[in-house]
Structure 1
Amino acid sequence: MTPSWRKPVGMLGILLLILLWCVAITSLSGVVGGWHWTAQLVFYLFTGLIWITPLKPVLRWMEVGHWR
């Protein structure tokens, strides 16, 4: 069985997604820093988990070659 090019491309895509997500969230730190600590906690918990949502189709594409 020959190695698939989709796995390295998918891994790079996932790393790029994580990098862009981190930059986007940290760029909001000036605004979020003025919030009450409980609001900050909810915001960072939510944004820390929501980036996982687009990974399922990417991982499926890496394995089988199609999105659905």
Structure 2
Amino acid sequence: MTRSGRTLIGLFTILALIGLLALIVVAFANRIAPWPIWGQSLFYLIAGLAWLLPMKPLLVWMNKE
């Protein structure tokens, strides 16, 4: 597979993963609403950074020669 093909597949995979993770976070929104603000902030901080973990192997694969 060419690099441009992997890049295109990787792009759509990244968008799908971010969308999926956003849906998961939204599903928990009602459960964390009664939490104190510091707990909500910590949850959203961790959730906002969690999408980076599965991206590294995908980015390495996309940039493979």
TM-score (norm 1): 0.86
- Alignment RMSD: 1.5
User: For 1:43-58, what aligned pairs fall within 5 Å after superposition?
Assistant: 43-58=43-58
What does the per-residue CA deviation read over 1:34-62, in whole Å, with 9 as the maximum and x for residues that have no partner?
11111001100111111111111100101
Q: Where does the alignment leave 5 or more consecutive residues of structure 1 unmatched?
A: none
What does the per-residue CA deviation read over 1:6-36, in whole Å, with 9 as the maximum and x for residues that have no partner?
1100000000000000000011100011111
Structure with the largest fraction of helix: 2
Amino acid at match of 1:41: S
Q: Where does the alignment leave 5 or more consecutive residues of structure 2 unmatched?
A: none
Q: Secondary structure at the match of 1:34?
A: coil
The answer to whether residue 29 in structure 2 is matched with residue 32 in structure 1 is no
TM-score (norm 2): 0.90
Q: Number of aligned pairs?
A: 64
Question: How many Å separate the matches in 2 of 1:63 and 1:3?
Answer: 7
Counterpart of 2:19 in structure 1 is 19
Residue 4 of structure 1 deviates from its aligned partner by 2.8
Amino acid at match of 2:34: G
Q: Percent identity?
A: 36
Q: Secondary structure at the match of 1:53?
A: coil
